[in-house]
Structure 1
């Protein structure tokens, strides 16, 4: 029986990906203007970015325990194996909730093939892990191979990104008020990455023109074998800059396979418009 892959909406994949690879998606929630929206279903990222440009501060919340319990129960009853590769546990409580519901459902269905894995990844970096696992599942791979390969990719997935305005990260509790003020005043563009699933500042660059070149330098320093992997780029409603970065990568590394997607509403609500993120494997692709 084919293994079902489950992702949450923080993977920032498109509806086309879900359909093509038969990926089940469970949405996080976005709160805006006293309304609740299901990320990737009931709200488009552009609405969140427009609201943030107007000074609003959208909030997000994790997948509810009941949503996981209902989904896990349906797969357990159908005796359908399910692997849920989760958004980083350091950035959301969704993984922990899923683990609790996995254990609860298995009390009733002890033989259920339910597996919950923390990817420690976000956005298209997380999405690339999902796509690799879904391709294996589609090809008939077993659970052990899928989890082992997905874990390898997750552990080696670099997240290199910058934001347009540190104020958004301040609102999301990622940087201090002083850092946000000084950064904006000095036109400093931060470069951040994800380490152990956590958001970690890497460098500060003076002036936005230097940022793209520096991102490519970091890619060259940390990555390898680019021609045999999919490079991911996600953006906060700035496809023009994303395409520029993609062109630079193609020219410098001879890469053809680049996936560009918009940062979804959940992550975008914290990173803000103008976010630009680059994802690649930091070890030989296997």
Structure 2
């Protein structure tokens, strides 16, 4: 068994085959519809979530793992490993990493917490890189250094279908939400220093997606390759169509598609499309 145990949370949306292959432990966040609470990736699937989301009158809420869940996870893993490395959801979006830091102090032992400063596929890319580096024999300190450098190259642009969920979640003003609905404005959000922020407002969805491709293309340093995932919510066909557009604009890019899960989807709503990427 490896000397380094790897931990992440459910907002990384790591595929089950990757979890099994590399022995990665997931601590789930939860999504709550009224009095019904579901652990992400365990009690509710992404498709089930989006089906229920469009039927609900009230916006669901989300909750981070309790400190005790991390304490139990770390204590269990340290019985069979020398150290623990946890790559977690951006602290600018959730208190998950802070809970893990508290748990690490309570448990003691060799535990490193990495704030991914991203979510979804961007967080997954860091987790996967950590697993590969561990299996190559790098030390925990070396892996942390490599992930920190990689994290600085990760970026993300999100196009939301409606301002409604951002407004109901307190992200934009009521006037902005109303005008966005009337004018069919499609907001482009960007992850900046770990926080999801309004970047631009574009009049149509088609123009917003074209603008995202333009923005991503401009951020690729000379001589580097784009590695990215087109992230979709409940609209796989739209995700595949955007992937084809990005591939046409950037023939050398390494692309895939992935689905956004319940916790992040609660705040962005159905219809979302995003490009999450890094360069190498």
Q: TM-score, normalised by structure 1?
A: 0.92
Q: Secondary structure at the match of 1:230?
A: strand
Whole-angstrom distance in 2 between the partners of 1:8 and 1:225: 34
Matches within 5 A, 1:74-153: 74-106=76-108, 112-153=109-150
Matching of residue 8 in structure 1 with residue 9 in structure 2? yes
* Alpha-carbon distance in 2 for matches of 1:147, 1:226: 25
Q: Aligned with 2:270: secondary structure?
A: coil
1:109 aligns with none
1:61 equivalent among 56, 63, 83: 63
1:214 aligns with 211
CA offset at residue 268 of structure 1?
0.6
State the match for 1:205 in structure 2.
202
Write the mapping of 1:240-251 to structure 2, written as runs, cut at 5 A. Answer: 240-251=237-248
Alignment partner, residue 265 of structure 1: 262
Residue 227 of structure 1: CA displacement?
A: 7.0
Specify the alignment match of 2:35 in structure 1: 34
CA contact (8 A) 2:3 2:81 kept: no
| 1:180 and 2:177 matched | yes
Which position in structure 1 is the counterpart of 2:73? Answer: 71
Deviates more, 1:55-64 or 1:226-235: 226-235
Separation in 2, partners of 1:37, 1:123: 18
Q: Which residue of 2 aligns with 1:156?
A: 153
Relative to structure 1, is the Cα distance of residues 230 and 21 closer, same or farther in structure 2, using a 3 angstrom cutoff?
farther
- Given candidates 167, 170, 188, the residue that maps to 1:170 is 167
Deviation at residue 255 of structure 1 after TM alignment: 3.5
> Shift of the alpha carbon at 1:158?
0.6
Gapped runs of 5+ residues in structure 1? 107-111
- Partner secondary structure for residue 138 of structure 2: coil
Assess, with a 3 A threshold, how the Cα gap between structure 1 residues 153 and 74 changes in structure 2: closer, same or farther.
same
Give the match's secondary structure for 2:87. Answer: strand
Deviations 1:162-208 (A, max 9, x none): 11111011122221221111111110001010111111111111011
Q: How many residues align?
A: 278
Q: Deviation of residue 81 (structure 1)?
A: 1.6
Quote how far apart the aligned CAs of 1:75 are.
2.1
Does residue 22 in structure 1 map to residue 23 in structure 2?
yes
SS of structure 2 residue aligned to 1:203: strand
